[in-house]
Amino acid sequence: MKKNIALIAGGYSGEYVISIKTAETIQKNLDDSLYNIYKIIVDRNEWYYELEGKKIQVNKNDFSLDLESGKVNFDCVFIAIHGSPGEDGRIQGYLDMLRIPYTSCNAIVSALTFNKSYCNKVVKAFNVVNIANSVHLIKGEPYSMGAVLDELRLPVFVKPNESGSSLGISKVKKVEELFPAIEKAFREDDQVLIEEFIEGRELTIGVYKAGGYLYALPATEIVSKNEFFDYEAKYTPGVTNEITPAPIDNNLKEQLENKAMYIYRHLNCRGIVRMDFILQNVTNKLFFLEVNTMPGQSENSIVPQQVRASGRSLKDFYGQILEDCLKPVSA
């Protein structure tokens, strides 16, 4: 019997459009002979499924749909929302209360990894990878530019602490650029992370669990024509060269995979995540940047590139992620 799958997309952040593209890729590559796929759009005003041009509202009491053909309850939710509420743990907490399985990290892990500063502190405690020096600011709490500059050396990155797609991020090289960059980041979030710039090669790697086993996908090297991998570089064709598999030697490949899988296991991640690192030029040390528990998966995004480079089809990959989610949890 075919399983009913809710594929939820949209969200409350500036990544709404990217989420819709991610959902399109996933839907196109799910086997409709095995699953009934219902794409649910989530925004601040409504949650709905569109059928023949008509919006059918989700019953939020039990996350179901009332169609003319009957009531639809879901066997699993494939989450494709970047940013809030799909990446910060809110949807996951709601689904946990309803006991509906879903494809991503749980509520606690999602909330932790969405907060860059808190996640850095936890990963640093693992003592398996380097973390750049940083300062964490909270809106409404006093801070001094002098104190920030006592802690960090320029250049620095100033970024919203809870945001994706590099929205609101700035690279600061001069003291006079710091305050405007902080204000820009505060327009995106109530918390700001100021992080020392590590000069080196940017490497990113997908990790996922399926069938009780942990897998690392082939890594990607990101070479941007811009100052850094900002929103334009991520989503404008030709601005960034994404090389998959990354041109790295076997020793570095093994290091990257082992560190990424260690972090995945010890953060208790689930589903597909992507981890970003910098290989420092002078020292050849790996620095951890962030965990992305809801990586973009539009057709040319990094994770689909890595899946194809591994020799697998997206249909096989998404099917495995979904089947892992559908397995009954042992008592």
Give the tens place of pLDDT for each residue, 156-183.
999 999 875 567 899 999 999 999 999 9
Over residues 216-245, mean pLDDT: 74
d(CA 40, CA 49) in angstroms, rounded, equals: 5
Burial (0-12, 13-18, 19+ Cβ within 10 Å), 137: buried
Is residue 8 scored above 80 in pLDDT?
Answer: yes
| H-run or E-run covering 278 | strand 272-280
d(CA 277, CA 271) in angstroms, rounded, equals: 20
Does 141 share its domain with 59? no
Does 225 share its domain with 285? yes
The domain total for the chain is 3
In a domain, residue 151? The reply is: yes
CATH of the domain at 158: 3.30.1490.20
pLDDT of residue 327: 85
Regarding beta strands 213-216 and 220-224, do their DSSP bridges make them parallel or antiparallel, or are they unpaired?
unpaired
- The residue behind tokens 């404008």 is 236
pLDDT band at 331 (very low <50, low <70, confident <90, very high): very low
Does 232 share its domain with 189? no
Eight-class DSSP state of 59: B
In a domain, residue 154? The reply is: yes
Does 40 share its domain with 59? yes
Name which residue leads in pLDDT, 233 or 143: 143
Phi, psi of 80 (to 5 degrees): -130, 25
pLDDT band at 329 (very low <50, low <70, confident <90, very high): low
pLDDT band at 263 (very low <50, low <70, confident <90, very high): very high
In a domain, residue 159? The reply is: yes
Q: Is residue 203 helix, strand or coil?
A: strand
Phi, psi of 163 (to 5 degrees): -165, 160
pLDDT band at 240 (very low <50, low <70, confident <90, very high): confident
Phi-psi label, residue 282: left if phi above 0, alpha if psi -120 to 50, beta otherwise: alpha
Q: For residues 190 and 201, is the Cβ–Cβ distance under 8 A?
A: no
Picking from 81, 3, 89, the residue whose alpha carbon sits closest to that of residue 324 is: 3
Does 187 share its domain with 207? no
Does 175 share its domain with 218? no
d(CA 90, CA 18) in angstroms, rounded, equals: 19
**261's tokens:** 């899988």
pLDDT band at 330 (very low <50, low <70, confident <90, very high): very low
Q: Which of 150, 178, 196 is the last residue of a domain?
A: 196
Does 57 share its domain with 148? no
In a domain, residue 309? The reply is: no
Does 115 share its domain with 238? yes
Regarding beta strands 35-42 and 3-10, do their DSSP bridges make them parallel or antiparallel, or are they unpaired?
parallel
CATH of the domain at 73: 3.40.50.20
- Residue-wise burial string across 27-66, b where 16 or more C-beta atoms lie within 10 A, e elsewhere: bebbeeeebebbbbbbeeeebbbeeeeeebebeeeebbbe
Give the tens place of pLDDT for each residue, 96-141.
999 999 999 999 999 999 999 999 999 999 999 999 999 999 999 9
In a domain, residue 89? The reply is: yes
Does 210 share its domain with 254? yes
In a domain, residue 298? The reply is: no
Over residues 47-64, mean pLDDT: 96
CA distances from residue 297 to 21, 27, 305, 307 in whole angstroms, order as listed:
7, 11, 9, 11
How distant is the alpha carbon of residue 34 from its chain centre? 27
Q: Which of 144, 175, 196 is the last residue of a domain?
A: 196
Does 126 share its domain with 231? yes
In a domain, residue 259? The reply is: yes
**Other Cβ atoms closer than 10 A to 106:** 18
Q: For residues 291 and 16, is the Cβ–Cβ distance under 8 A?
A: no
In a domain, residue 138? The reply is: yes
**245's tokens:** 């598999």
Does 117 share its domain with 229? yes
CATH of the domain at 280: 3.30.470.20
In 58-129, DSSP assigns E strands to 64-67, 70-73, 76-79
Range of the domain at 269: 111-130+199-293
Side-by-side strand order, sheet with 156-160? 134-138, 191-196, 156-160, 170-172
Question: Cα–Cα–Cα angle for 28, 30, 265, nearest 5°?
Answer: 115
Question: Cα–Cα–Cα angle for 12, 14, 19, nearest 5°?
Answer: 75
For the ranges 76-80, 209-213, 218-222, 254-258, the lowest mean pLDDT is seen at: 209-213
d(CA 264, CA 275) in angstroms, rounded, equals: 9
Does 142 share its domain with 261? no
d(CA 272, CA 104) in angstroms, rounded, equals: 7
